[in-house]
Homo-oligomer: A and B are copies of this chain.
């Protein structure tokens, strides 16, 4: 159910800092959810009134306990509901009557298809109550001392918000965050998202001045477009980081066309994240790394990393990790090399990674770091320490903290990451490093993954700042609508090849000239209009993969050959597909482009995100090659270039040996045209251009398939 349909008001920030909290289902039974939430809410010095509800009195009678919701006083506030599913709807009705506008439903067993679930939604609508959950861990707002959840402890107050589709992942993140000094403005476990989805909360916390960055754990979104809009608005002012789980699961989603089959769910999410300026991370490790960096450096970082280490091996492993991400080794300036020559003994590496040698003491760490932080060619610094028996574990940490603090005072605010190898070394050093604003990582690869998230944050900001391209021109839309009107009038869903090409042409996409021949008698006249040699294809609404079934003959030299081929084709198909309706033939000139690449561009419709444009390597092996990138319209020239660049075939398109580069602008132009078409004509459910031939001279669609939804 979309929020607009319910007539309910959007959740407001001040609802999350309520004057009172009503816990329906409070309990004193150890191990129960009601007990855990009750303990969490009973925070000493809380700035809200706590009302508990349970027909059975809690152990110690006290003020604020009531046998039923109908007994609580009238007034605003937040409700937390942790009672059996069957009673939730009734509780919501009563809560609404008492003035409650927001309820966090922790109870499970309230799925969309269940009777209790439907009753809950209806009761909320009638009572004017906004719901978070059901089936969630709860809501935590540390700055209001509000822990309306069954998490184990109250996280530190801070400026990250965590919105999670899994309560378990939320509690794990909180427990990891605590020892790393990472605090939260809010943590919301969204559960089944029956009424409030992640998109609405992203929009809410985008407006929260106490939130610097937004972390998301996502399993699946019903309202993709709403999320996209909210995330795009949010990422303009603060980084949005997402971990999408279940990438490997939904790949089998059935779909008829190539595009549909290719548009695996993760492709679409990745495209949505790019569009929305969201930074995608791959694992919980990376999510945690991003969190520990982004609350300090929400602006992200450039991609030139300096690596400073007392152990050469650790430096090499960091370089290997960097090569796996999109970062680069910074080139040290001659001045920095000189300063390092003074700070280090003769055997130092004299380059990046900066190996200051195993016997490095605190003085060497401090002067080396200071030298590197003054280098304008360095965007971020990773300081590493391998344990040795030579210096006390904390010494290098204190020196690194001091050098970083000094640089900060002179205005050098670049991110400094720390990687202290070995558990004991890390434990002894983390507090002083964290206090000085150096997030600490356990291994080189984890540290470099954190850096990669910083780089991606900066890049996402750049992509987001691109202007949206112009929508379809009235002319192109009008022309296309005329084609579609004809199809609809016939009651058909699949366009003929000639109709499909006319549609593409109206959006400025070059197509090979194609003449329809209803009867082979017309072949001679048609052949006069175009240059030999010819290609002849069957036109049948019943045969999709024409080339697989003898429905395409290439390289015909003249009209007589065309007629012979057409007769043979007809005879063959009459045996192979006696039921197929043969409407005629499509005649085309052969396109002779010696070094042209076969590409693929198409449209699929995603249930959550709507139209998706796919680009990749084309030809008959398209599924097995599976070299593709997705984009969400509207797609502008830079987005289109990014899509091209995300494929393996991009390397071929850029030219090699004596094959000149293909006209990337022309290919991007086709992607943009297909994007305008996808937006302007939502009735098109599938579109495949395969192949699109591209070389230095341009791009041209040889074959196209279009289906109306």
Contacts and interface: CB of A to CB of B under 8 A. Distances in A.
A443 B150 contact: no
Contact of A311 (B40, B168, B283, B391): B168
Contacts of A443: 283-285
Nearest to A359: B33
A425 interface: yes
A489 interface: no
A647 interface: no
Interface stretch (A170-178, A230-238, A480-488): A170-178
Given A283-B317, A321-B283, A168 B312 contact: yes
Interface in A519-565: 545, 548
A623 interface: yes
Task: Pick the most buried of A172, A648, A656: most chain B CB atoms within 10 A of its CB.
Answer: A172
Interface string A416-444: 00000111110000000000000000111
B175 A425 contact: yes
A361 B321 CA distance: 40
Contact of A423 (B151, B179, B421): B179
A167 interface: yes
A152 B311 contact: no
Interface in A298-342: 309-314, 316-317, 319-323
A310 B652 CA distance: 48
Nearest to A421: B172
Contacts of A423: 175-176, 178-179
A347 interface: yes
Given A172-B421, A347-B108, A445-B283, A247 B623 contact: no
Interface string A609-649: 00000000000110111100000000000000000000010
A245 B284 contact: no
A389 interface: yes
Contacts of A548: 657-658
B388 A151 contact: yes
A367 interface: no
Contacts of A442: 285
Given A219-B313, A283-B317, A319-B248, A389 B108 contact: no
Contacts of A249: 316, 319
Contacts of A166: 311-314, 316
Nearest to A314: B168
A310 B168 CA distance: 8
A444 B176 CA distance: 14
A282 B449 CA distance: 14
B361 A31 contact: yes
A191 to B, nearest CB: 11
A358 B168 contact: yes
A23 to B, nearest CB: 14
Interface residues on A, range: 35 or more
Contacts of A217: 313
A313 B165 CA distance: 8
Interface string A150-167: 111100000000001111
Contact of A625 (B169, B310, B317, B651): B651
A548 B656 CA distance: 11
A390 interface: yes
A478 interface: no
Interface string A236-256: 000000010111110000000
Interface string A397-430: 0000000000000000000000001111100000
Contact of A386 (B168, B390, B391): B168
Contact of A169 (B311, B623, B651): B311
A43 interface: no
A282 B108 CA distance: 41
Contacts of A620: 656-657, 659
Contacts of A149: 389
A320 B172 contact: no
A656 B179 contact: no
A389 B40 contact: yes
A387 interface: yes
A36 interface: yes
A39 interface: yes
B285 A446 contact: yes
Nearest to A384: B168
A311 B36 contact: no
A319 B151 CA distance: 25
A320 B265 CA distance: 13
A364 to B, nearest CB: 12
Contacts of A179: 423-424
Contacts of A285: 442-443, 445-446
A174 B425 CA distance: 11
Given A172-B311, A621-B657, 13 more contacts: A108-B347, A152-B389, A172-B425, A175-B423, A175-B425, A176-B423, A243-B317, A246-B319, A247-B320, A283-B321, A284-B421, A285-B446, A625-B648
16 contacts: A33-B390, A36-B389, A150-B389, A166-B316, A168-B309, A168-B311, A169-B386, A171-B388, A172-B425, A219-B316, A243-B317, A245-B316, A246-B319, A248-B319, A285-B442, A620-B657
